[in-house]
Structure 1
Amino acid sequence: GNDQVRFEVGFGALAPDLDVIAPVRDYAWTREKAIEFAERNQIPINVTKKSPFSIDQNVWGRAVETGFLEDLWNAPTKDVYDYTEDPTLNFSAPDEVTVTFSEGVPVAIDGRKVTVLEAIVELNRRGGAQGVGRLDMVEDRLVGIKSREVYEAPGAMILIAAHKALEDVTLERELARYKSGVSDEWSNAVYDGLWFSPLKYALDAFIDNTQQHVSGDIRMVLHGGSIVVNGRRSEKSLYDFNLATYDEGDSFDQSYAKGFVNLHGLSSKIAAKRDLGL
């Protein structure tokens, strides 16, 4: 799977003089044999022959695979989940939360100062209670095999949604468009185990630069497994009410529009004339 690649590429980048010994892989052990070895040597693992799920988890999220989930038609059962409740459980009691960011980093929840870790822990709890953060997907492993994974990441998904909403009002248009592609490349590098690579370090530097104005508050409603942003405010906002309004007080000079439209569509218009033989 992917994890052996991530571990060993990381080891190679940090300590290239070390050799890696991996008995399960090198001796081609089956999952059953690996479980027997762990039980015989009292190695604590969360996989058993009775419950053969493979589970990776930390404060940022939880990933579950194998077992009956390997049949893509099988729906996840209640016992697959641990970080999240059934989205219908607290359906009558939605949770409204405000996350404050400073230069792209969460620093407060509902006005109370928190560390990044505290933010993730609290949003895991509150989002999980609303069934937020469940994903059931088939992904392409780095080694070329498709794999089904069931994820739970309530705090992560809430922070990502809030951060994106704040970037929408604080990043200049062309920078936001370009950063979207950089974010995808960053994600691919991390997924592929290149956390300590020159590419990832360079992408980090670009992304850090984009965050200097990403400060402000985002208000969201967590409800029925969904995250809905319903409020945004920032002293670094690029949103100008007087430019955006259609009502009295509009400060945008509408006479600019005619020339802009003509120039913006000129190349398409010329191509259309050619294609129509005009």
Structure 2
Amino acid sequence: MEWVLLMSIGLVAGTIGSLIGLGGGVIIVPAILYFGSMAMLLDLSPQQAVGTSLIIMIFTGLSSTLAYMKYKTVDYKSGWIFFIGSGPGGIAGAYVNRILNMESFQVYFGIFMIITALILMFRSKVKPLPAAGKGGIQRIFTEKNGQQLTYSFQPSQAILIAFLIGFLSGIFGIGGGSLLVPAMILLFAFPPHVAVATSMFIIFLSAIISSLTHVAFGHVVWLYALALIPGAWIGAKAGAYLNTKLKSKALVSLLRIILIIIGIRLIYQGLA
């Protein structure tokens, strides 16, 4: 029964995570802790849930990236630049994870996710950060209908933001996509489809670094990881396919709804 439940959690997390670029950790960590409290799974510590989740993020990120490669929506150059910040941030977050009161941080993080969702409601009124000047990177993406979208960013700004997101990812085991995708869309005007696909590529790279740190701390429950991986891998493929069928506006709307639901769940988890 435990294996069926874990595979189901992995499938749902992989599908939603790949579809919206979250990575799936925002589903896995609360689910493991919740079902553990209901005696349906082992009662893991937050650190074990985070460490195990980050192992799954490697496979979710890889599966999604391989799928998005076929649709040519992954911006590899930008992804590597963001990873320069998110990689070290993930290591720092993994270290802090050992000493923080996770219940309090779940509340704060849940509130932040809801605020992020509300900001996305007014994203048309938010002007992206300027990328003009020396060192600015400008990219062009062509939609299926032939429309060309331009987005740009300063590497220094991207690295700093990615470090902060990687830091939170290392603490909560969420992959970081719940913050990275809105940041890409709001601050740098990434097209939603490109933001999601590139986010999964960055999550794949960052999860390798963060998970190695948690492995060193003994935070990974390997039997649970093995049960979660198959569902997460299949779900990530399905989510990537569904992503190509949705319009950009629908994708952003779905992202807002998911962020609010997860934010409320995290607040509840922290106060319970």
TM-score category (smaller protein)? under 0.3
- Structure with bigger helix share is 2
- Structure with bigger strand share is 1
Larger radius of gyration, structure 1 or 2?
1
TM-score normalised to structure 2 length: 0.27
TM-score normalised to structure 1 length: 0.27
Structure ranking higher on relative contact order (CA contacts 8 Å, 6+ apart): 2
